[in-house]
Amino acid sequence: MKLVVGLGNPGDRYADTRHNIGFQVVGMLAERAGISLKKSGHQGVYGVGRIAGEEVTLLLPQTYMNLSGASVGSACKSLGIEPGDLIVVHDDIDLPFGRLKIRPGGGHGGHNGIRHIKEVLATGDFTRVKVGVGRPHASDDVSDHVLSRFSATERKSLEGCLFGVAEAVEKIIESGVPEAMNAFNNKDLTE
């Protein structure tokens, strides 16, 4: 089984913000696979189904971003998920909007959700799917930027971007991380 986690913050206030793009991608995955995200558990909302012939659990932690590890740790322990079978989808300000980077393992890159997951699991050996949300202007606060909504221009290509990231996650599940990296890393999903 694979565990695919979309990071974000619960509640309408954060629903369409840059920080919640992980939630949006996992929502798109659920829709494409016909998986209902209606179960409550692991301090989150989740659903179980199949993607590319593989059994998957899709999880949206409801702990707020900075405590994502509590939800992910609970799900990993309960489901017997090894770090190699964990895929975490999250926003990344170091990538331009619409760019994607798949990375097996590594540091947290300043992302508090990833930092907490690493602390709870005591390892960074899980796959990250980083979705570019653009860097704030030099004078802008990073928190304000990631908690802001996408611009009108960005919203026009957001659906296509989410679709492309969902395809990348499906490719990881179907063919493995190296093949997915070759197919999707640094690809502009806004085109």
User: Which has the minimum average pLDDT: 52-61, 84-93, 133-142, 176-185?
Assistant: 133-142
Q: Is the pLDDT of residue 190 over 90?
A: no
Round to whole Å and give the CA distance between 97 and 92: 9
Choosing from 19, 42, 111, 145, the catalytic residue is 19
Whole domain around residue 25: which residue ranges? Answer: 2-184
Q: What pLDDT, on the 0 to 100 scale, is given for residue 191?
A: 79
**Residue 139 included in any domain:** yes
* Share of residues in the chain with pLDDT > 70 (%): 99
**Residue 127 included in any domain:** yes
Q: Is the pLDDT of residue 121 over 90?
A: yes
**Residue 190 included in any domain:** no
**pLDDT tens per residue, range 64-96:** 999 999 999 999 999 999 999 999 999 999 999
User: Which has the minimum average pLDDT: 40-49, 55-64, 143-152?
Assistant: 143-152
Average pLDDT, the chain: 95
What is residue 132's three-state secondary structure? strand
Domain count for the chain:
1
**Residue 129 included in any domain:** yes
Q: What pLDDT, on the 0 to 100 scale, is given for residue 143?
A: 86
**Residue 171 included in any domain:** yes
Bridge-based pairing of strands 2-6 and 54-61 is parallel
**Residue 14 included in any domain:** yes
Q: What pLDDT, on the 0 to 100 scale, is given for residue 153?
A: 92
The edge-to-edge listing of strands for the beta sheet with 127-132 is: 39-41, 44-51, 54-61, 2-6, 86-92, 127-132, 100-104
Q: Which CATH number do you get for residue 167? A: 3.40.50.1470
**Residue 56 included in any domain:** yes
**Residue 191 included in any domain:** no
Q: What pLDDT, on the 0 to 100 scale, is given for residue 144?
A: 87
Is 19 considered catalytic here?
yes
Q: Is the pLDDT of residue 139 over 90?
A: no
**pLDDT tens per residue, range 2-56:** 999 999 999 999 999 999 999 999 999 999 999 999 999 999 999 999 999 999 9
